[in-house]
Structure 1
Amino acid sequence: MRKLIYGMNVSLDGYTAAPGGDLGWSVPSDELFQYWSDRVAATELALYGRKLWDAMSPHWPFVAQRPDTTPAEAEFGRRWVDMPKVVFSSTLTEVGWNSRLVTGDPVAEITRLKAEDGGPMDIGGATLAATAMRAGLVDEYVLATAPVVLGGGTPFFTALDSWVDLTLVETRTFPEGVVLTRYEKRR
């Protein structure tokens, strides 16, 4: 059975994006960027919601063509393109870059994917992750908490019918005061 991991940069008050989708507050240090890049390399399958797909797909496949691209960004772009992805959307008609589109019930598809043999799956996009959380499908949470308070925006966590007991399995401090915490769901 595969493990489903939800991880993102998050503000101290729990938001993944400021109002209007602004991500300017979450530019990672080189060390944190490398952490996320290494996670992409270790991920067997990534699950994306449409909004996150719309943010990532126009950028990462082409980043190496920009003259100001760093070697780390080029590496992340290659890893991102090579990583198999499933995009959940009721509005898209096609996706590219080693991806397939699912237009049906995300809970049914994520449940099916989790039941397969294989390595870890990452889930990205707050809306899709909220659906998986409410269904009890997320096994691990990774929060890279930045020292900024946004006061609103897109929350990392969704409202749930009952609490989820977690065990802290890792903490790490990155430059600029970002603290990474990783939790696994208690069995």
Structure 2
Amino acid sequence: MGRLIYGSMSVTLDGFFADADGGIGWTVPEDEVHRLSNQQVKDHAAVIMGRGLYEMMVPYWHDLLKSGEGGEIEQEFAQVWDEIPKFVASRTLTEVHESCELIEGDAIEWIARKKEETDGDIEVSGIDLASQVEAAGLIDVYRLNLLPVVLGGGKPYFRDDGTQRDLELTDLQRFPGGTVALEYTVKR
């Protein structure tokens, strides 16, 4: 059985993953953080994402890989992203890019089955989808990059659903630019 990882996301000190307008311009990672993300994705068995993240990530990284633009770190991520199995949960999409597979039926049930069938880590990304998977009690690990930024408002990393989550810190890495990469495992 695999582990479901609540996607490696950048989070502000005050707990937001995006500003009030959905902007994430403040999240551009320093090289060392980007390298960590590259390795984490490379180590995953698969990535499951919601429609919003799919529409942002897949075309961007696919086009970057094809064009050869960007730096070495970006091209490395584009290659890793191109090769990893990617699944998309959406109630509105009827087709997805050839590098992805559209999840049919109930996404949470599908993800629970995928977790049972998979050896290795599966990242669940896109705040709406990841929050639903979290609410179903399927998340095993939280990974976040805590950035030295305070937005004062925006879109929260966690849903305000009144659920307490007891976690154990299983990894911590500090980076020169002030980012702290955190990994917490759910206590069961």
Q: TM-score, normalised by structure 1?
A: 0.94
Does the CA-based 8 Å contact 1:9-1:26 persist in structure 2?
A: yes
**What is the match of residue 156 of structure 1?**
157
Once the two structures are superposed, residues 62-119 of structure 1 have per-residue CA deviations (whole angstroms, 9 ceiling, x without a partner) of 1134464111111111110110011000111111243110243221111111111411
Please say if 1:2 is aligned against 2:17. Answer: no
- Change in CA separation of 1:123 and 1:117 when aligned onto 2, cut-off 3 Å: closer
Please say if 1:91 is aligned against 2:92. Answer: yes
Does the CA-based 8 Å contact 1:126-1:154 persist in structure 2?
A: no
Does the CA-based 8 Å contact 2:11-2:144 persist in structure 1?
A: yes
**What is the match of residue 64 of structure 1?**
65
* Cα distance in 2, alignment partners of residues 182 and 67 from structure 1: 32
- Change in CA separation of 1:97 and 1:78 when aligned onto 2, cut-off 3 Å: farther
Does the CA-based 8 Å contact 1:81-1:97 persist in structure 2?
A: no
* Cα distance in 1, alignment partners of residues 154 and 182 from structure 2: 21
Amino acid at match of 2:127: A
* Cα distance in 2, alignment partners of residues 12 and 97 from structure 1: 37
**What is the match of residue 77 of structure 2?**
76
Once the two structures are superposed, residues 99-147 of structure 1 have per-residue CA deviations (whole angstroms, 9 ceiling, x without a partner) of 1102432211111111114111001100001001111110000110101
SS in 2 for 1:108: helix
CA RMSD of aligned residues (A): 1.4
SS in 1 for 2:2: coil
- Matched pairs, number: 187
* Cα distance in 2, alignment partners of residues 175 and 65 from structure 1: 32
**What is the match of residue 38 of structure 2?**
37
Aligned counterparts, 1:121-160, within 5 A: 121-160=122-161
Does the CA-based 8 Å contact 1:133-1:158 persist in structure 2?
A: no
**What is the match of residue 184 of structure 2?**
183
Once the two structures are superposed, residues 6-33 of structure 1 have per-residue CA deviations (whole angstroms, 9 ceiling, x without a partner) of 1211111111111211111010000000
> Is there any run of 5+ residues in structure 2 with no aligned partner, and where?
none
**What is the match of residue 106 of structure 1?**
107
Q: Once the 2 structures are TM-superposed, how far is the Cα of residue 175 of structure 1 from its aligned partner? A: 2.4
* Cα distance in 2, alignment partners of residues 167 and 49 from structure 1: 27
Q: TM-score, normalised by structure 2?
A: 0.94
* Cα distance in 2, alignment partners of residues 18 and 132 from structure 1: 23
* Cα distance in 2, alignment partners of residues 178 and 36 from structure 1: 13
* Cα distance in 2, alignment partners of residues 175 and 97 from structure 1: 38
Does the CA-based 8 Å contact 1:134-1:161 persist in structure 2?
A: no
Does the CA-based 8 Å contact 1:90-1:103 persist in structure 2?
A: no
* Cα distance in 1, alignment partners of residues 68 and 110 from structure 2: 39
